[in-house]
Amino acid sequence: MLTAALYIAFISIATALAICMVRLVQGPHAPDRVLAFDMLYINTIALMVVMDIYYSTSVFFEAALVIALTGFVSTAAFARYLARGKVTD
């Protein structure tokens, strides 16, 4: 039963990743691309957590944490760049 739920989660997250990639490439405006990038790394984190449950290891949790930290910083930097035209003061 858990295996079936994990397969459904894999398919759902893969579909979400594909939709985010389409929006990242096609996004008509820069904020659309930033939001697509944000959702892309969030879905990647979800995929890594599901993979960790599937393989019963803790390596993927650590990698998901690193991706979460770098994704947050990069999204904040992109948003600040779009708002002010520069990242630092």
State the Cα–Cα distance between residues 10 and 86, nearest whole angstrom.
Answer: 38
List % helix, strand, coil for the chain (3-state, nearest 5): 85, 0, 15
Token output for 84:
């002010």
* 61: exposed, middle or buried (Cβ count in 10 Å: 0-12, 13-18, 19+): middle
Q: What is the largest CA-CA distance in the chain?
A: 53
Structural contact between residues 43 and 24, judged by C-beta atoms closer than 8 angstroms? no
State the Cα–Cα distance between residues 20 and 35, nearest whole angstrom.
Answer: 9
Q: What residues make up the domain containing 42?
A: 2-84
Residue 86: which pLDDT band, with cuts at 50, 70 and 90?
Answer: confident
User: Which CATH number is 53's domain given?
Assistant: 1.10.287
How many folded domains does the chain comprise? 1
Average pLDDT of the chain to the nearest whole number = 91
More confident of the two residues 89 and 24: 24
The mean per-residue pLDDT over the stretch 36-53 comes to 93
Residue 52 counted as domain residue: yes
Residue 49 counted as domain residue: yes
The confidence score (pLDDT) of residue 5 equals 95
Residue 89 counted as domain residue: no
The mean per-residue pLDDT over the stretch 64-71 comes to 92
Residue 45: which pLDDT band, with cuts at 50, 70 and 90?
Answer: very high
Residue 6 counted as domain residue: yes
Residue 26 counted as domain residue: yes
Residue 24 counted as domain residue: yes
pLDDT digits (tens, 9 = 90+) for 6-25: 999 999 999 999 999 999 99
Residue 39 counted as domain residue: yes
